[in-house]
Amino acid sequence: MSSFHQPTLFSFLNGGNKKNNKKKDNECNNNEKKPNATTSKEETGLKRKIIDKNKEEELNESNNKNVKKTNDTSLKEEINLKKRKIINDDNEEKEVFKKPKSTDTSMDIDENTNSQDSTKIKKAEKKTLTIFGSQDSEYQDFNWKAGEPVPYAVLCKTFENIENTTKRIKIQDYLTKLLVAIIKLSPNNLLETIYLCLNRICPEYEGLELGIGETILIKAIGEATGRSAKSIKTDIEKQGDLGNVAQMSKSNQKTLFKPKPLTVPAVFKGLKEIAMFTGNQSQTRKINKIKGLLIACNGNEPKYLIRSLEGKLRIGLAEQTVLMSIGQAIVLSENMEKRKSKERLESEITKAIETIKSIYSELPSYDIIIPALLENGIQNLSSICKLTPGIPLKPMLAHPTKSLTEVLNRFENLTFTCEYKYDGERAQIHKLENGECRIYSRNMENLSNKYPDIVERIPRIAKNDVTSFVLDCEAVAWDKENKCILPFQVLSTRKRKNVEAGDISVQVCVFAFDCLYLNGKSLIKKTFKERREALHNSFTPIEGEFTFAKNVNANNVDEIQTFLEQSVNDSCEGLMIKTLEVDSSYEPSKRSRNWLKVKKDYISGGIGDSLDLVVIGAYTGRGKRTGSYGGYLLACYDNENEEYQSICKIGTGFSDEQLEKHTEFFKQHIITKPKPYYRVGDAKPDIWFDAVQVWEVKCADLSISPVHQAAVGLVDPVKGISLRFPRFLRIRDDKTPEMATTSEQVADMYNQQVVISKNNAASQSGGVDDDFEY
Ligand SMILES: Nc1ncnc2c1ncn2[C@@H]1O[C@H](COP(=O)(O)OP(=O)(O)OP(=O)(O)O)[C@@H](O)[C@H]1O
Ligand SMILES: [Mg+2]
Ligand SMILES: [Mg+2]
């Protein structure tokens, strides 16, 4: 076939943009296989069902976008509810996608490929290629030549599309299309694209992060656009978003020559270099590099470049969506030329998404997964990419409970075990086949430098025949003399980085509770009973250094109650209760109902669990607290809308020393205006802070609030939830602000409390906020 008639990837992707087709056909590379097979009848299968929303909803959506830019709270509240509705609708849509209705089999195929293809397409009846978008004028940009680097403009266009919708299904769709195009045209750029989408430059556990400070960025923008720092700052005051200011500054600038357009690999490389500059000249080098990139930016690129540099892309693209798009895109790209039924293709996509998600939870490294995926396809990926010592996995998390009856109800007819819940720091201990030992935190941070004493003892804890392993443990402060556990507060006084033998003032004992990998094999799919046997059989306790979590296989309330009291007497926080056989695999990164935590607080009538909240503002102190901050404004994190929602003022639980330290710390994080992603209702503090620190907080109960905005739209359409009598417990250094308690968790806690208070026939308190004087 002559290349002239060969449909291009562009024409295939670009459903319905006639005026561009001719040009794009000529531009596109001819090496690509002819994809028109995909446009024949059985591809009716490809269709991703997108339920047509009525105009009203579209209107809501555009309102939502406007809301991001307005400060009108009441409108915001109203829109928020609609947003939630849309999200729910989207979930339904996803269900439809999984289980398509039999009446709706049409695979939408673009009627607008070139003339030869259109004959075939007619046979398949007039359809639009929905998998690549039915109104896909936005895909006209997928027109770079195969083998050439992906233009940064194409990625930024996708970012913009994603930012302009709140519908998860649409977000996934936009990204999938981009990824398919990249897999087909420039697969070498897939990894970099994924990193840019996630606003990362390497695997999380390597710890290299963007997050360039405002001062540097303002300087670079100033130098690149000839504007003064002062005028840029004035714009930031007005706009809030530095990305928008950068874009505005660029667009007002007249340039004499057009620089070479940016590409995805060039931007990625630039960002990585910027993050890695250290030492004397690093600030100047960073500014120069950023300036260079900014000068080459066009259109909306400055906005996304600057936001990426800040480490705050905030376009509403969650990692789970990225994983889903990878799975979907790989199946679609593998099947473009094949004739498969809709059902088959859909089930392959579902399976691929599951596979990718599960592999990523065991081996959270795109550096390894993406090249393996491109080389071997999705089918063989599980046998190639597996849990590997040296690469931390996100730990399994537990579900809070408020009573032992709740535990017994949940685990009815299941075998389960109760363990002490130690109050220390989670430690994932790895021994590699080459003998190297490492320790990782709950947050996948390498703690080997913090715990050289543990690293030293690792080789001694394993029996002779053990060559490699991964253990899940808690490192707890230990009183050597009295041979007993010390409270978390003692552990937190330990030096955090580059600890040497002489620095160790606090001894730690490791309590192991799970074995995830042993001698070259992953155990996470095995039952907990088997994993625990492996742990007990292959490791030897050493007094005061390493031992197993204390446990009993109790199964009635009295026995569990006794064990709970015993755990508290032994300085533990309560119990972890876990399934042993059925449904007892290790679920990385999941908050599972197969692990229940029962904290001692529940005995004294608390709310079952503490919350981890982000400090976003403060109130000036009066009286005794003059000179320091008297109280703080806390927020939970809403990962759906990527915003912090105010939940309470807090003024108790601090020692004088802590008050002073907090004041000192937060003085370095003052911002002049609340961030656009703070939702605070009427809770206006005297001073605003950047969201940088997480506090663990206990409270008496939760109530619907006339002031705060936590979980707004989840329990009440316009009101949020607030904490009553909040009390500071500790700083959570092991959690980033985005790992704070989520609005869903807050709503769950509130609902749970309502159920319990109904059960107790107790009247529920509500409507009052815990207001206090400092
Ligand atoms: N026997 C045990 N099994 C599992 N985890 C344990 C055990 N003993 C102590 N832990 C610790 O308890 C933690 C779970 O409860 P905790 O409330 O402390 O969680 P958290 O770190 O505050 O996180 P979140 O509140 O988000 O669940 C685990 O992450 C682990 O560090
Ligand atoms: Mg803990
Ligand atoms: Mg907690």
Residue of the nearest CA to atom 8 in ligand 1? 421
- 440, 474, 590, 738: which to mutate for ligand 1, most atoms within 8 A of CB? 474
Query: Is the CB of residue 572 below 6 angstroms from any atom belonging to ligand 1?
Result: no
CB of 575 shorter than 6 A to ligand 1: no
Which ligand is closest in space to the CA of residue 399?
1
pLDDT at residue 606, rounded to an integer:
59
pLDDT in the model for residue 532: 98
For 624-654, how does the pLDDT look when each residue is reduced to its tens digit (9 = 90+)? 777 889 899 999 999 888 899 999 999 999 9
Of the candidates 516, 396, 518, 506, the one whose C-alpha atom is nearest the C-alpha of residue 451 is 506
- CA gyration radius, the chain: 28
Q: For residue 505, which amino acid is it?
A: S
Question: Which tokens belong to 432?
Answer: 């590699």
- The residues facing 546 across adjacent strands are 510, 542
Q: Which residues are catalytically annotated?
A: 421
Is residue 397 within 6 Å of ligand 1 at its C-beta? yes
For the chain, which ranges sit under pLDDT 50? 1-135, 138, 761-774
What is the token pair recorded at 154? 């194409």
- pLDDT tens-digit series, residues 145-171: 999 999 999 999 999 999 999 888 999
What does the alpha-carbon distance between residue 637 and residue 634 come to, in Å, rounded to a whole number?
10
Q: Could you give the 3-state DSSP secondary structure of residue 476?
A: strand
Q: Which two tokens stand for residue 34?
A: 């002819």
Q: Decide: helix, strand or coil at residue 526.
A: coil
Ramachandran sector of residue 468 (left: φ over 0; alpha: ψ -120 to 50; beta: rest):
beta
Atom of ligand 1 nearest to the CA of 514: 3
- CA–centroid distance, 765 to ligand 1, in Å, is 30
List, in order of start, the domains of the chain with CATH numbers: 205-310 (1.10.3260.10), 397-601 (3.30.470.30), 611-759 (2.40.50.140)
3-state helix, strand, coil in the chain (%, to 5): 45, 15, 40
What's the pTM value of the predicted model, to 2 decimals? 0.79
- Please identify, by atom number, the ligand 1 atom nearest to the C-alpha of residue 420: 1
Contact 83, 713 (CB under 8 A): yes
Are the C-beta atoms of residues 638 and 691 closer than 8 Å to each other? no
Mutational test site, ligand 1, from 396, 416, 422, max ligand atoms within 8 Å of CB? 422
Residue ID of nearest Cα to ligand 1 atom 7: 421
Q: Is the CB of 90 under 6 A from ligand 1?
A: no
CA of 611 to the centre of ligand 3 (A): 6
**Is 549's C-beta closer than 6 angstroms to any atom of ligand 1?**
yes
- Which is nearest to 444 in space by CA: 715, 739, 696, 165? 739
Residue from 421, 440, 589, 732 to probe ligand 1 pocket by mutation (most atoms less than 8 Å from CB): 421
Residue nearest to atom 23 of ligand 1 (CA): 397
The C-alpha atoms of residue 355 and residue 330 are separated, in whole angstroms, by 12
State residue 131's pLDDT score: 41
Distance, in Å, from the CA atom of 632 to the CA atom of 683, rounded to the nearest integer, reads 11
pLDDT of residue 604: 55
Nearest CA to 720 out of 747, 684, 741 is that of 747
Angstrom distance (rounded) from CA 539 to CA 96: 49
Q: Nearest C-alpha to atom 31 of ligand 1 is from which residue?
A: 426
- Give the residue ranges of DSSP H helices in 256-315: 264-276, 282-295, 301-310
Q: What is the residue type of 149?
A: P
Residue-level pLDDT at 239 = 80
